Structure 1
Amino acid sequence: MTPHETVSKARWTEAMRALVIEEKALTRQRDRVTEQRRALPWVKVDKDYVFQDANGPVTLAELFDGRSQLIVYHFMFGPDWDEGCTGCSLMADHVDGARQHFEHNDVSYVTVSRGPIDKLLAYRARMGWSFRWVSSAGSDFNADYHVSFPNGERGDGVFYNFETRPDPEIDELPGISVFYRAEDGTIYHSYSSYSRGGESFLTVYAYLDIVPKGRNEVRDGQMTDWLKRHDRYEDDGRTGSAAPAMAETA
């Protein structure tokens, strides 16, 4: 860690005042971006997507669970994977505590993956989560929202995060999509975020960003893979399948 100057409380307060000005500017910029996000135009959802949950087939409309707004997390868990992506698992660790609040504010939440429903539910039970998880296997949903790229279909690149990118050499990438259901039953796609856009939902990063070592991802000039699934921190090495960590492309 870079050595830090030790100063008087007065000089520290002066430095903090300068930082607070920057933090306030960032807060105001975030507020402006939030307003722009809510003002985005919408796209009508014309396809009748059908998923699989623990009780059988379920439609996109049914995932709203009687509410008008739906958050979908595109969780990286491919058909042949034995466990979910490490980074997506970190994201999932943040959901249930918040979910009990936003469900009372007309917002439902569901995680969607291409993996078979039995694997998804087994992994959810292992990790101790309780949010709804459905399988999009056999559906165009993941392809239509640009988060799944099966080998052989990637060609010279993929369309991800609203631009064409080189082949990521991986079938699944993360993202979040938001939908609105009108009183007449019409469903609209209002927003999607991919790649590092998901960091705003990771409270653990917010905490790490205020401590001296930060995220501690670079050590001796090299990126480190410190993150593990929460039930694997006691392991000396990786266990299970080699499911990749969440993509960190900018």
Structure 2
Amino acid sequence: MTASAGNGRNEASGMHTPLVVSPQDWHAAHGRLLAMEKAHTRARDALAAQRRRMPWMAVEKAYVFEGPQGRASLAELFEGRSQLIAYRAFFEPGVFGWPDHACRGCSMVADQVAHLAHLNARDTTLVFLSRAPQGDIARLKQRMGWTMPWYTVLDDFDWDFGVGEWHGTNVFYRDGDRIFRTYFVNNRGDEQMGGTWNYLDITPLGRQESWEDSPEGYPQTPPYKWWNWNDAYVEGAAPDKRWVEVSDAGEAAFRK
């Protein structure tokens, strides 16, 4: 393949495309970009480490939600786990798409949500919150194929936590009977949400893996070892010995 002398041009679209180069030049360019991408990854890890050291805010007010099984407190939304990620989705009268659809942007966020078993395995619960009645939420979930827990806001929760007039993701930690707000992101920050890793990176405990820079005493296990098929997690079970052997190679590559 011969390298172009200047930018290419896609005659069909009129786009000015990048150079067309030899395989050797392409790999060299990719190597330069990869170095920048690795630096970006390390910077993202460092930012997550600072997020785990952000001060907490005690939640002193009692909040009530409506779920499929009836009324529920904020503590009950945790489903017995220590961490709660709560996304405020716009689905209510007055929202574009009502009553057949939720907000298009919030619906795109919902479409990105990975299988919740992986978050649950890291002591973390994800819920969606809206002001729509439960009957409308159940109908919407069935139509769109969504399975995340989705509660109806009944009081000032959304206004108290920065999502009264916009979408946003709040993170909470439960220590016995006490609940703390630990993080909040909205606007374009919500674009990264949906994947297991990005969700865990905004929690106070993080991914809970041994390579992370976390405060002393935080729960941590070796990377890869806790991973499992979404239908095979068993609480308290030791990692599968065969998977440990396979993942050792992956852990070595992780350090590069």
Q: Same fold (TM over 0.5)?
A: yes
Question: What are the residue-to-residue correspondences of 1:1-250 with 2, within 5 Å?
Answer: 1-80=15-94, 81-82=98-99, 83-97=101-115, 99-136=116-153, 138-149=154-165, 173-183=166-176, 185-202=177-194
Structure 1 unaligned regions, length at least 5: 150-172, 207-250
Q: How far apart, in 1, do the equivalents of 2:58 and 2:93 lie?
A: 28
Runs of 4+ in 1 over 6 A off after TM superposition: none
Structure 2 unaligned regions, length at least 5: 1-14, 199-256
Per the TM alignment, residue 78 of structure 1 is displaced from its structure 2 partner at its CA by: 2.6
Q: How many residues end up aligned between the 2 structures? A: 178
Per the TM alignment, residue 79 of structure 1 is displaced from its structure 2 partner at its CA by: 3.5
- For residues 32-60 of structure 1, the C-alpha deviation after alignment (integer angstroms, 9 at most, x for no partner) is 11011111000000111000112211110
TM-score (norm 2): 0.66
Q: How far apart, in 1, do the equivalents of 2:69 and 2:51 lie?
A: 35
CA RMSD, aligned part only? 1.6
Considering Cα pairs closer than 8 Å and 6+ residues apart, tell me whether 1 or 2 has the greater RCO. Answer: 1
Q: How far apart, in 1, do the equivalents of 2:145 and 2:16 lie?
A: 38
Per the TM alignment, residue 202 of structure 1 is displaced from its structure 2 partner at its CA by: 4.9
Aligned partner of 1:241 in structure 2 is none
Could you tell which deviates more after superposition, 47-56 or 77-86?
77-86
Aligned partner of 2:210 in structure 1 is none
Per the TM alignment, residue 116 of structure 1 is displaced from its structure 2 partner at its CA by: 1.8
| Matched-pair contact (CA < 8 Å) for 1:79–1:116 | no
User: Secondary structure at the residue paired with 1:52?
Assistant: strand
2:127 partner letter: V
TM-score (norm 1): 0.68
